[in-house]
Structure 1
């Protein structure tokens, strides 16, 4: 049995080839009655649209935007550099990636950046989410214009995006708590959590997961009020030093966001230090592990997050079924299982300082 063609669809629907083509490729300008005829013919014949041929015939170039915090810390410097690499590599795949930097933790800045994307004809937008009514309204406007919106690294409400690309942040927090509990070996202690900002869902979820495991399985370990470090090394270093001076019984530190270089600097000048869990395997956290200044790094594998986001936006732009939006599997590193260090590249050089 031969594969049905667009000509077969047009014949079965009783419309011209041009009309069938406009309906199948969503080009508009077709009466609703004809649209319904073509859709019925597509279903009856089992016609599958040839995306590659359609794109070739229209010389289509996919336009994607990543709306992410500016390069204010090593993690997002790394993300910016990876996206720039993907943009160059994607030219042969007829796709471009615009990187839109916004001030971290500022809902108004994110709202303004999203508003500026309106009418630009983006096929897909990936955004590090901050929950606010203004952000939600701008995301809805982009989706109304046909852009496929995905939350990236930090999730949004399900109604505001087609899917989420990132790790399960509650699981990450639970994992960190398990590491802390095991390190205490049944003994009592106190943990100092550090967050960038609780305006980000990923930081909220990590802290909630961390708290849940401590309360359920390690009630002898107290959880102190979180330090707000805004992912800045100087703020994290200063406020953690104050906390340790005020409460010498702190036996563990969990850094939920950025600013880990500040922790390493502080611990390097102390004779002893608490057990420490941080996020994201960067050159500075790798060095801190090797030097014994932190104990565990939980990594979200940003290369995989970016590639998954591009794959999903491309599929959504082609109106194809979306691949699974299951969370990215996180990686857990101690000084003994560090992966081989990649040869130094532009990305690594930019990430050496946070």
Structure 2
């Protein structure tokens, strides 16, 4: 018969200290002499004591306080993220999780730091944010972590920032995938690829662009890469920059848009004169306008980063860190490539609930069958 699990009382007896002292050490409340802390931790190791997080939270009447900072604007992907988070915010109240959803302008490191300053004074346990390549953001993340606040980067990582984890796809691999798709579509013919990014200061955009360049340059030497269009994820900026290019030159054979602002691109593509060949087009993220364009044959492929999985994993990871457990999600999410023929049904409820983080295979990659099973539940 299996023996019972050790309790706090067992740890107290083994360490030769009071129950209250053990409770303070286990729940990280402080105010305990270092020699007593050492004795308690030694007793924990000897007995194999495992902290009952659920019981501890219940006894302390603990509520988790998390925040997600999502860029505002016309980018439909970020609107989609906010919608998923809002649905979860309401559901999580029953689990004693208070989720705040904050908005800031895209690609604005100073605004992000100001919002983080405000949040750090509200007693939050953790925050998920879209990373940027700004030194001030990396410094602010370090300050939050020093204050005991968990920080995750979501969708886009923050280079050199000491975040707890990154939740998202491998953006360089996504760019390489786009490059291969574009190269295969050319079938060995010459061509010119036009990249569109929101901002090169966004690590996900820069990494996708670099991945595409690597693949095209190494595998498809007959393809040229045109100067990058920077559209700030604003459809009007993208449209105004593209119209003169397509009007004055017909040498663009492919377009790779790594971020938002695609409504402007799609308007330009739909207005091309009869007889002018449409370029091969690869976009990111299944959002309504991109899906419609794929169904209509205006674009050729969508690389999707599975936002429902990103949110589920981020919330699960924040909770693990708040409970002082090792986060169980560390590997990049595998993106999905969609063509017109394999688009998922409209309106499918694909949200993976927090606490059901995507399982990984032994190689560190997500198990496709497991992902599909969780999504369909």
SS of the residue corresponding to residue 317 of structure 2 reads helix
The Cα offsets for residues 87-130 of structure 1, whole Å up to 9 and x where unpaired, read as: 10101111011111111011111111111122322111111011
SS of the residue corresponding to residue 146 of structure 1 reads coil
- 1:15 is aligned to 17
1:221 aligns with 2:223: yes
- 2:287 is aligned to 282
- 1:300 is aligned to 305
SS of the residue corresponding to residue 193 of structure 1 reads strand
- 2:371 is aligned to none
What's the TM-score once normalised by structure 1's chain length? 0.95
Structure 2: distance between partners of 1:307 and 1:268: 36
Q: Which moved more, 1:52-61 or 1:127-136?
A: 127-136
Of 245, 258, 261 in structure 1, the residue corresponding to residue 260 of structure 2 is: 258
Of 135, 148, 151 in structure 2, the residue corresponding to residue 149 of structure 1 is: 151
- 1:242 is aligned to 244
Alpha-carbon shift at residue 334 of structure 1 (Å): 0.8
Structure 2: distance between partners of 1:246 and 1:219: 25
Structure 1, unaligned stretches of length 5 or more?
345-354
Taking CA–CA contacts closer than 8 Å with sequence separation of 6 or more, which of the two structures ends up with the larger relative contact order?
1
Of 192, 201, 213 in structure 1, the residue corresponding to residue 194 of structure 2 is: 192
Structure 1: distance between partners of 2:122 and 2:96: 17
- 2:314 is aligned to 309
Structure 2, unaligned stretches of length 5 or more?
350-377
4+ long deviations beyond 6 Å: none
User: Is residue 15–residue 34 contact of structure 1 (8 Å, CA) maintained in 2?
Assistant: yes
What's the TM-score once normalised by structure 2's chain length? 0.89
The aligned length equals 344
Structure 2: distance between partners of 1:241 and 1:254: 16
Structure 2: distance between partners of 1:330 and 1:185: 24
Alpha-carbon shift at residue 247 of structure 1 (Å): 2.9
Question: Pairwise CA RMSD of aligned residues?
Answer: 1.3
- 1:84 is aligned to 86
- 1:348 is aligned to none
- 1:25 is aligned to 27
Structure 2: distance between partners of 1:263 and 1:21: 59
User: Is residue 165–residue 327 contact of structure 1 (8 Å, CA) maintained in 2?
Assistant: yes
